[in-house]
Amino acid sequence: MNLAMNKVLSLLFLIVSGAVILRQISLVKRGGPLPTIRKIAALEAISEVVGRATEMGRPVHFTSGVGKIDDEFAPQTMAATEILSNLARLCAEYGAKLLVSVCPTLVFPVQQDAVRHGYALAGKIDEYSEDQVRFLSDQQMAYASAAVAIIQREKAAANIMIGAFYGEFLLIAEAGLQSGAIQIGGTARMYQLPFAAVIFDYLLIGEEMFAGGAYITKDRAKLGAIQGQDYVKVGIICATLVGAVFALMGSKALVNLLVKYGN
């Protein structure tokens, strides 16, 4: 019973947050004002790097790292896969060669389908080749070594790395730098961001990656979800400020409430 009572506020927060997000999705889908997302340079640059690769006659390389679709990094992997689908569409339209390096086994068919879907959207499904999406290895360093070899052997004109990465991050990025590729990176793993900021030409920081699908496709449901999440964040900030005011006034009422119902 005590355990159940300790989760009351968590459950309430989950219900309210879900209701706010679903309401915004519904409003936007029914023709409400379309939310706008500020300009994200890294996403704007994707068409530029694809165009450059086409002009140079060299491929575009993409990888989403070691994140799986059934672990804590699944949101990053799925966000990266959504961006990959749009990248595939652009490559099909421009006539650029796309190479995708995959590490986790379960991600392989998902990203194959994403690339196939991108080519279908461009009306060039006949130009899609199974060899474009390559399963390298589910072992971190074996995958990194193979990705490095692909970038250097194919002389990639662009290297796009979006997803969850560990120590292989800079190894692959260094190969892109040596091949003269324009590099776009993105991750929500804050440990990697300081290094990424140094070596990448364009960088998606944290939540920018998760907004990528909505930003690119302008899908009303996705934009509504982004707006709903922003409203939830505003609510959290307001609650934090209220808690700070209570603390400054010497009141422990809010702290006691959280201890009793919010653990």
Band (pLDDT 50/70/90 cuts) for residue 157 is very high
d(CA 213, CA 85): 9
Q: Of 57-71, 92-106, 161-175, 193-207, which range is least confident?
A: 193-207
- DSSP readout, 26-56? HHHHTT-PPP-----HHHHHHHHHHHHHHHH
Q: Of 21-30, 94-103, 243-252, which range is least confident?
A: 243-252
What are 186-239's pLDDT values in tens digits?
888 888 888 888 889 999 887 888 888 777 777 788 888 888 888 898 988 988
Q: In this model, does residue 180 exceed pLDDT 60?
A: yes
d(CA 117, CA 123): 10
Residues 6+ apart with CB under 8 A from 198: none
- For residue 1, what pLDDT is reported? 44
- For residue 7, what pLDDT is reported? 72
Q: In what order do the strands lie in the sheet with 182-187?
A: 133-135, 98-102, 60-65, 158-164, 182-187, 202-205
Q: Where are the domains of the chain?
A: 2-34+228-261, 41-217
- Angle at alpha carbon of residue 4, lines to 2 and 6, rounded to 5°: 70
CATH architecture for residues 41-217: 3-Layer(aba) Sandwich (3.40)
What are 96-149's pLDDT values in tens digits?
999 999 999 999 999 999 999 999 999 999 989 889 999 999 899 999 999 999
Higher pLDDT, 143 or 35: 143
Return the amino acid letter for 112.
Answer: Q
